Structure 1
Amino acid sequence: MSARTHPSTRPLPTGVDTRLPWWALALPVAAFVALLLLIAGPGGAHATAGDLGVDRVLEHLQQTLAL
């Protein structure tokens, strides 16, 4: 014998808050800005002046894209 199923009579929730807290956006933005400043900061410019690794990577990229 099968049991009958009853449709749900509960009302749907109408007051659901889908907004994010302020820090849910501020923390990733702050982390991104901090990492960007570490990469592009003036303190790292003198360290890469004598390094040819970056030049080799860029040259390799140029050769690969020229195919």
Structure 2
Amino acid sequence: MSAPTYTRPHPAPRGGVDTRLPWWALALPTLAFVTLLTLILNPSDAHAASGDPAFAQLIERVQQLVTHR
């Protein structure tokens, strides 16, 4: 007894695998990046930040460089 073979109702795309991404595949990493960048640029919002003065000075310097035009 042979097993039936199933065929696709429509032909496969010419490029092979369909490479379209859902909208959230780009939106979520972008949102995470913007959130982390905001925390870095505004360390006063990060309440659990360490008390290391060298790190705080570095963050302040980066903030000044980014906001200076």
Which category describes the TM-score, using the shorter chain as reference length?
Answer: 0.3 to 0.5
Normalised to the residue count of structure 2, the TM-score between the two structures is 0.42
Question: Could you say which structure has the larger radius of gyration?
Answer: 1
Normalised to the residue count of structure 1, the TM-score between the two structures is 0.43
